[in-house]
Amino acid sequence: MSGRKEWIAMLLAGGQGSRLAPLTKMVAKPAVPFGGRYRIIDFTLSNCVNSGLDTVGVLTQYQPHVLNEYIGNGQPWDLDRMRGGVHVLPPYERQGGGGFYAGTANAIYQNIGFIERYDPEYVVILSGDHIYKMNYAKMLEAHKRQKADCTIAVIEVPMEEASRFGIMNINPDGTIYEFEEKPAHPKSNLASMGIYIFGWEKLRSYLIADELNPSSHRDFGKDIIPAMLAAGETMLAYRFEGYWRDVGTIDTLWEANMDLLNPKVPLDLYEDDWKIYARSPVMPPHYIAPGSHVQHSIVGEGCTVEGDVDFSVLFSGVTVEKGAVVRDSIVMPGSVIRKGALVQYAIIAENVEVGEQVSIGVRPEDCPDKDSWGVTVLADGVHIAPGCTIGARQRIEADVGQPAGQEV
């Protein structure tokens, strides 16, 4: 195959995202909307193209339709290329094996053929469920400079939270001597970001060896990295400084959205030299009606706001009718909040209808039992009949009360 690429990226987007349920009922986690305009995967795809990576394989297997359509030919991210570009890689059958991806390492193993079409020197392994801006080219420089076999991006986390992460213990020269997955007594606070650069020849040999090991989990963190460490390969930790959030749970998704409203959070979506690209909805600008109040919020295209919106993120095409109040909440594309409804500490998924005078969610200070408080989530397309009340930390996956507009 002519025209080799120095490096390509493989983006793991197959996770079910069960901790984000019910938002991931119909869509894969990377396709969950984020930040008023984006989907989670936009950050990683934009990082790729901004870093000069023009060939990206996106490994999907769970609920791929929305994600497939969203990625399309890759044009919004400038990844529609004559050679390379973005390719969605679902599992496939072939002679002597194939089938569903059994783990992150197996997913890459099954696509060795795709990678070899580009004959790359380096392969970047990424995951599609983090919010951050990062220049992978700088990481590749470090990888080359130190002649590493594998470079793992790490970020300092608060020591008390370190036991939630995969922790890297490193030597003074930055090389890793130990990797501990969620250690009870962490020795360092350098957490793996799930971003790896490998020399392709090296990675391929470990992937093939791992397939032959019957007790392997077929996982990068559990199998490939420990095996490489045990064999004495040069493993480098690459420190990343800046904003990075895993949005794998309802709470972290809600918090990361709210971070966008905080001017002190170092994630600037308005700077020109590291844009986050997205497939745009075709909608006119949003309209704020007389008598409405919109403060400390993000509002997408095509919204109509006649009520009050405070500390919230509204995606494109959302309607907030007169007298309705949306506070500390996230409302995804196409949803309607009818007259007089109150939405607090909630995530409203796409195309939801919240009926008149409905109350959704509870402020933490109004919750008698602090342990039962949490963000309430309404899944895609549900209808909440007028006058209903939905408390804290609920997960609503079906219509509540009479469907709106239907008489008894």
Partner 1 sequence: MLQGNVFGIIFSNMHDDLIGELTQVRTTGSIPFGGRYRFIDFHLSNFVNSGITEVGVITKMNYQSLMDHLGSGREWDLDRKNGGLYIIPPFTHMGASLYRGRIEALSGVLPLVRRSKAGYIVMADCNVLYNVDLTGLVESHIASGADITAAYSRQSVNSHGRWNGMTFSLAHDSRITDVVIGGSDGGEVNSAINLFVMNKSFFLSMVETHLSRSQYSFKRDVLQARRDELRIYGYPIEDYCVEIDSLRGYYDANMQLLDRSVRDQLFKRETPVYTKVRDEAPARYGLEASVENSLIAEGCIIEGEVRDSVLFRGVRVGRGAKVVGSILMQGTVVGEGADLGYVVADKDVHFSEGRLLRGYEAYPMYITKGSHV
User: Which residue in the set 298, 352, 354, 377 belongs to the binding site for partner 1 (CB under 8 A)?
Assistant: 298
Size of the site for partner 1 (CB under 8 A): 37
CA angle 256, 260, 262 (to 5 degrees): 110
299 binds partner 1 (CB under 8 A): yes
Residues 6+ apart with CB under 8 A from 191: 154, 155, 156, 157, 162, 165, 166, 167, 168
Q: Does 104 bind partner 1 (CB under 8 A)?
A: no
Of 26, 102, 142, 261, the one binding partner 1 by CB under 8 A: 261
DSSP assignments along 307-339, one per residue? SEEES-EE-TT-EE-TT-EEES-EE-TT-EE-T
Tell me if 278 contacts partner 1 by CB under 8 A.
yes
Pairing type for strands 346-348 and 330-331 reads parallel
Q: Which listed residue (79, 155, 294, 354) binds partner 1 by CB under 8 A?
A: 294
Distance, CA of 246 to CA of 207 (rounded, Å): 26
CB of 315 to partner 1, least distance (A): 8
Q: How far is the CB of 108 from partner 1 (least distance, A)?
A: 30
Is residue 197 within 8 Å of 139, Cβ to Cβ? yes
Told to check if 295 binds partner 1 by CB under 8 A, we report yes
Residue with tokens 């007169």: 322
Q: With binding defined as CB under 8 A, does residue 296 bind partner 1? A: yes
Q: Which of 159, 231, 265, 289 binds partner 1 (CB under 8 A)?
A: 289
111 binds partner 1 (CB under 8 A): no
In the complex with partner 1, the residue whose CB is nearer, 36 or 199, is 36
Q: How far is the CB of 292 from partner 1 (least distance, A)?
A: 7
The DSSP output letter for 77 is: G
Taking CB under 8 A as the criterion, the residue among 239, 286, 393, 395 binding partner 1 is: 286
**Contact between 101 and partner 1 per CB under 8 A:** no
Letters for 34-73 (x = contact with partner 1 by CB under 8 A, - = none) are -xxx------------------------------------
Look up residue 223 and give its DSSP letter. Answer: I
Please name the amino acid found at residue 179.
F
Q: Does 389 engage in binding with partner 1 (CB under 8 A)?
A: no
- The burial of 266, by beta-carbon neighbours within 10 Å (0-12 exposed, 13-18 middle, 19 or more buried), is given as exposed
Measure the CA angle with vertex 312, ends 308 and 314; round to 5°: 85
Backbone angles phi, psi at 193, to 5 degrees: -95, 5
Minimum Å distance from CB 371 to partner 1? 31
**Considering only residues 287, 364, 372, 403, which one is a binding residue for partner 1 as defined by CB under 8 A?**
287
Q: Which is nearer to partner 1, 272 or 371 (CB)?
A: 272
Q: Does 138 bind partner 1 (CB under 8 A)?
A: no
Among 95, 173, 215, 270, binds partner 1 (CB under 8 A): 270
Distance CA 330, CA 192 (A): 29
Contact by Cβ (8 Å): 111, 57: yes
Spatial CB neighbours of 98, under 8 Å, sequence gap ≥ 6: 91, 92, 110
d(CA 9, CA 382): 37
The binder of partner 1 chosen from 113, 290, 371, 406 (CB under 8 A): 290
Q: Which of 288, 351, 357, 395 binds partner 1 (CB under 8 A)?
A: 288
Shortest Å distance, C-beta 295 to partner 1: 5
Closer residue to partner 1 in complex, CB, 12/313 = 313
> CB neighbours of 205 closer than 8 A, spacing ≥ 6?
none
Is 81 a binding residue for partner 1 by CB under 8 A? The answer is no
Q: Which one of 53-61, 114-122, 189-197, 276-284 is the stretch in contact with partner 1 (CB under 8 A)?
A: 276-284
317 in Cβ contact with 300 (< 8 Å): yes
* Positions in 308-337 near partner 1 (CB under 8 A): 309, 315-316
Q: Does 259 bind partner 1 (CB under 8 A)?
A: no
Could you tell me how many residues make up the chain? 408
Token match 């002190």: residue? 264
Positions that interact with partner 1 (CB under 8 A): 35-37, 75-76, 260-261, 269-270, 275-278, 280, 282-301, 309, 315-316
